[in-house]
Amino acid sequence: MKNKFTIDIDNSINSGQVFLWKKIKKNWYGIDGQNILKISQGGKIESIQNTKTDFFRKNDDIQKIIKSISKDKTVKKAIRQYEGLRLFNQDPFQCMISFIISSNSNIQKIKNSLEKISKKFGTKLVVQNEEFYLFPRPEKIARASIDEIKICGVGYRAPFIKEAAKMVTSKKINFEYLKNSDYNETKRNLRLIPGVGNKVADCIMLFSLNKLDAFPLDTWMIKILEKYYSNEFHIETKTITEKQYEILHKKIVDYFGQYCGYAQQFLFKMERENYEKKWL
């Protein structure tokens, strides 16, 4: 087992958590809100703007987490194959918009739409002769028209994106409050945002609001649970209702424990790789 600071950068970035990242030579560069982050091949992370960041969630006791979620041969296999896979601690607003866009989409389309949003509404910076666009602040998107947002390739999600930005700007959605709230209270608040259902809320909570008990259930994860965990969870349909989602989430937490979000990430990564699906 690798120690808690050993992170597999390539596999962690290419696991469906983040989208605005690109590899230049041997280094990864990514947009995280108002930050440009650089990750070297050796795993050193730095903010181009010299901003303090805990993108790697260094306080997670990974040894304890791995032990806690290692409930069966399937998840143990996923952990062995992708041992250095880690969850990131993202900018909440960027994460929110990313996963609102993710509904009924794929990774390449999400990436393209986010790049267009950043280019249209964000601040341009040049780093080592490379152009980067910071993710726009919520107030900038809140002031934009629906049509301006729509031309970024987000389709029917444009009004959702604008309303989400308005709610963050007005503090109806307060990320600091949500980071310190429990799972149910956080989800209740996020579900007030148009375009945020159970799965999108769980993604936002897991990847940016410190809710390691969030377990996003998209079509991939439903298939994974059907394939490997039919005896544990008894899923009988390809789509699940909101009530079924809540019941299933409780069963998942009971089974995998309070760090079930990590189990989800390992299982998701393994199954996507089994099908050789494209990442960034």
DSSP the chain: ---TT---HHHHHTTTT--SEEEETTEEEEEETTEEEEE-TT--EEETT-----TT-TTS-HHHHHHHH--SHHHHHHHHHTTT-------HHHHHHHHHHTTT--HHHHHHHHHHHHHHHS-EEEETTEEEEPPPPHHHHHHS-HHHHHTTTTGGGHHHHHHHHHHHHTTSS-HHHHHTS-HHHHHHHHTTSTT--HHHHHHHHHHHS--TT-----HHHHHHHHHH-HHHH---SSS--HHHHHHHHHHHHHHH-TTHHHHHHHHHHHHHHHTT----
Domain that holds residue 187: 9-274
pLDDT the model gives residue 276: 86
Residue 227 belongs to a domain: yes
pLDDT the model gives residue 5: 55
CATH number reported for the structural domain that contains residue 235 in this entry: 1.10.340.30
Residue 93 belongs to a domain: yes
Residue 4 belongs to a domain: no
Residues 6+ apart with CB under 8 A from 240: 217, 222, 248
Residue 131 belongs to a domain: yes
Residue 142 belongs to a domain: yes
State the greatest distance between any 2 C-alpha atoms of the chain, in Å, as a whole number.
Answer: 54
Taking the CA atoms of 270, 274, 277 and 280 in sequence, report the sign of the dihedral they define.
positive
Residue 3 belongs to a domain: no
Residue 1 belongs to a domain: no
pLDDT tens track of the chain, all 280 residues? 445 458 999 999 999 999 999 999 999 999 999 999 999 988 899 999 888 889 999 999 999 999 999 999 999 999 999 999 999 999 999 999 999 999 999 999 999 999 999 999 999 999 989 999 999 999 999 999 999 999 999 999 999 999 999 999 999 999 999 999 999 999 999 999 999 999 999 999 999 999 999 999 999 999 999 999 999 998 877 789 999 999 999 999 999 999 999 999 999 999 999 998 889 9
CB 159 within 8 A of CB 57: no
pLDDT the model gives residue 1: 46
Number of domains in the chain: 1
Residue 158 belongs to a domain: yes
